[in-house]
Structure formats: C-alpha cells, structure tokens
Amino acid sequence: MPMLKYFGHASFKFYSQKISVVFDPGILNDEPLVPESETTNIICVSHAHRDHLGNTAQLSKKQKAFVLGNEYTIETALKEGTPQWLVRKLKSGEHFERPNVKVTAVDLKHGPSVEPVNIPNLCFIVEIEGVRVAHLGDAMTKGFLEQYPIDVLLIGVDETEAFTSSHSLSAIADIKPHLAIPMHVRTEDEIDYFFTHAETVAPDTKFKKLNPGEEIRVEWLAGTEFRVS
C-alpha cells in the first residue's frame, strides 16, 4: 500500500514495496533534506532552484535513480553531475512509465521569483497502486489540473514564491483532491490562515499538516473509499 513521507520544505517520497519516487530533494541552510542513502527509483524535480533541485545529482548517482524535469532543470542537473543515462526531459502532457508507476508532467507557472527571468516549473502527477499524488513545485497557478483525477495534492503556501494562502485554497476547491497537504510554508501567519479557512473554502477535501520525518499511508479501499492513516 502506498506511503507518503515528508522530509521538510517541498521534499517528499511517495512509495510502495515495489517502487519509490522522491519529489524535489532540496538543500536548505546548506543541508540536504533527503539523504543520499534514501532509496528511490525516480526523482521528480519541479524546477532548478537550489531548495528544490538540491542534491539530485548525488542522490541519483547513489541510488541509480532516474531524474525527471523540464529542459532547464535537466540541463542544470547534468552540469551538477547527474549521469546522462539517468535523465529524462519531459514536456507538459508527457508521461514517464515504468512497472508499477506512471508519471505525468504538467507545466504550471512559477510564482514570484527573486531571479530576473521567471524559471520554468513542472507539476508532477505520480500514480502508484491507483493512488495519484500531485506535487506542484512552486506553482502559483493551477492551470487545468481539475481535469486530472488527483487524490493527494502537495501545494505550496508561500506568497513570495508560490500560492498565497487564499489562492491555494481556491485552487484546492477547484481541483477537489481527497487530501491536501501544504508545503513550502514561509510564515506561521500563512499556514494559520490556510487551516482556519480550509474547511469553509474546500469542504470536500481533507487537510493535513505534516512534520519533517512524518509518514502517512494513502490508499483506496475496495476502489471506493479513500483512506489516510
């Protein structure tokens, strides 16, 4: 049964007994959020900022893991030492499939950035054992995500780089995931507003805050009931 592990910031691992996928193994305060010893088969990198690309090259080499990203992200990953044979460039709407997993890439505009040119950002929808997890990276728009069936939504709540608190809730209300988990949270005020208004804005969605190191189980029971435990 699929599990979701949180490492902090925007770094997660979605996995089962047969396959594992890491999202955005960033570096914060010069420390990697995901250790090189963390087993994984695939690394999905939303964009090339250090707090998302992080130690992708080292993790990929150590675990022999595929690295998925847009053209700019992959070029940066290669410069940092990611093996050529392990990288896969994805455009919006393209898929990467291996036994027991399917990854779909969706272009979503990056939020306000300190960089002079807005960096390209990819959302990844990963399906394992019938459960679909969407990681939005630093997206500030939802695009057409409501067209995709999404069980778990990992969404940035950071007005300096991603969604504002209110806009993130509006996106969740439109996308209608079964579970929404905030990430990349900048301030306590933002997350307080988020949870204060969550059930009112998106009553059909469950909300959960994860702490670094916390893991949850996400699964469909008999194909009809979605359970988080």
The DSSP secondary structure of 65-86, one letter per residue, reads: -EEEE-HHHHHHHHHTT--GGG
User: For 117, phi and psi rounded to 5 degrees?
Assistant: -115, 130
Q: Is pLDDT above 50 for 114?
A: yes
User: Over 90: is that where the pLDDT of 140 sits?
Assistant: no
For 55-103, the pLDDT digits (tens) are 999 999 999 999 999 999 999 999 999 999 999 999 999 999 999 999 9
Please state the pTM of the whole predicted model: 0.95
Which helix (H) or strand (E) is 96 found in, with range?
Answer: strand 95-98
Residue-wise over 61-96: b if at least 16 C-beta within 10 A, else e? eebebbbbbbebbbebbeeeebeeebbeebeeeeeb
What is the set of domains in the chain, with CATH numbers? Answer: 3-228 (3.60.15.10)
Cα maximum dimension of the chain: 50
Whether residue 160 is predicted with pLDDT greater than 80 in this model: the reply is no
Region 154-161: mean pLDDT is 85
Segment 98-114 shows an average pLDDT of: 86
The confidence band for 116, taking pLDDT boundaries of 50, 70 and 90, is very low
Chain position carrying tokens 């950035």: 113
Gap between the Cα atoms of 136 and 130, Å rounded? 19
Residue 117's pLDDT band, with cuts at 50, 70 and 90, is low
As given in the structure block, the two tokens for residue 19 are: 């396959």
